[in-house]
Structure 1
């Protein structure tokens, strides 16, 4: 695949992800609330079911446009898994620091960013599975496996990782309609990108799953505490 085609494919996948996630997490959730369905339940279902559906559609699109699935980097070796675990440990430290920066920038304390109040047991379980495990797998497949791979091909390693991290943080800002986690999101985007480039998408997925799971457990614990 040529450099220009790689960049075009990456741009199309980024636009597709943002449009589809926004439609599901904003449009569908608002529609559900309008007819009396718990929006928290719908959002949790979107995370658990909608995200892998988005990843499947965009992966199919990439394959149709000539992407080689071997380039996605899913090598489940002991080395990759171990690197993912070690990177997660580093990530917890980095996220703690980034959260302090976000707090200082936006004048927020930890409770101000907690969205878990009033969770039912069913929604809590869906969040643990969806946000903790399913979302990281779907996001790593698309954002690191497809987008970063193509941007690195087109622009080289530093720019490919950096632009992917910026786009990854940007899509969260767009969907969440908020910038209050921007430092944390950028930190995670760069961390996942470096881990993916060095050890593969399986490795960055392990890192992402561990960080998301711990974060989600904290949210659920706070809701039931």
Structure 2
């Protein structure tokens, strides 16, 4: 369904799509906090691993949450074809280029911060898993954070939310609002972010939103998968 048809089907027009996007963002944040703060605390001891509990809950919860947001979007007229999952050589290549751009930009940020503040204390870094974590926890981290999270977040945040925002405010402003919301979501759920983490979130959000606007959600999904798989794989390999 075209943008004009969607707006025509929604008597509230632009405010309706803005409200859909805002509601979807709030829903995601509240649900993720419930999953990763409350339920993880309950399941960590029975499962024997806080990170293992986190990955199991995210692996189940994120696809359900993305599906719920997609359903809400369809009720307002944002159909699957509007998510723009057009797979082509160009969209895939752009996504791969986005991965390269992310790591180059992040390296520049790290070097700049290091030059200003000096090398960070390695002892202050938060490990990806707790000491002595079982092999299944590492495998779950790689699968969930590397595959499930990008696929679910891209459907919800670029396929539905950014689509609604671009329809409401135009491509540039809508993409900027979507990127800002994506960064804030991570900062809120994580309980804050150090300068390097914040920079990585901003870079990723800008790249993902730009790819979605120019080459579609398939392209931003490729970039998200590549960035998460590489980052998670390196973190696991370093243990």
Task: Note the C-alpha offset of 1:107.
Answer: 8.0
1:114 aligns with 2:130: no
Matches within 5 A, 1:26-175: 26-33=37-44, 37-100=48-111, 108-109=120-121, 112-118=125-131, 119-175=133-189
- Give 5+ residue unaligned stretches, structure 1: none
Matches within 5 A, 1:6-21: 6-21=17-32
Query: TM-score w.r.t. structure 2 length?
Result: 0.86
Query: TM-score w.r.t. structure 1 length?
Result: 0.91
> Which residue of the partner structure matches residue 178 of structure 1?
192
Please give the per-residue CA displacement for 1:105-146, whole angstroms capped at 9, x wherever unaligned. 898456614333423210111111110011011111111111
Tell me whether 53-62 or 25-34 shows the greater mean CA deviation. Answer: 25-34
Aligned residues, how many?
A: 223
Tell me whether 67-76 or 113-122 shows the greater mean CA deviation. Answer: 113-122
* Aligned alpha-carbon RMSD (Å): 2.1
Please give the per-residue CA displacement for 1:36-66, whole angstroms capped at 9, x wherever unaligned. 7421111111232221111111111111222
Task: Note the C-alpha offset of 1:83.
Answer: 1.5
CA contact (8 A) 2:128 2:236 kept: no
SS of the equivalent of 1:60 reads helix
Tell me whether 66-75 or 113-122 shows the greater mean CA deviation. Answer: 113-122
Aligned-partner Cα distance in 2 for 1:167–1:109: 30
Aligned-partner Cα distance in 2 for 1:33–1:200: 38
> Which residue of the partner structure matches residue 10 of structure 2?
none
Distance of aligned partners of 1:109 and 1:163 in 2 relative to their CA distance in 1, 3 Å threshold = farther
Distance of aligned partners of 1:13 and 1:38 in 2 relative to their CA distance in 1, 3 Å threshold = same
Q: Which structure has the greater CA radius of gyration?
A: 2
Aligned-partner Cα distance in 2 for 1:92–1:6: 33
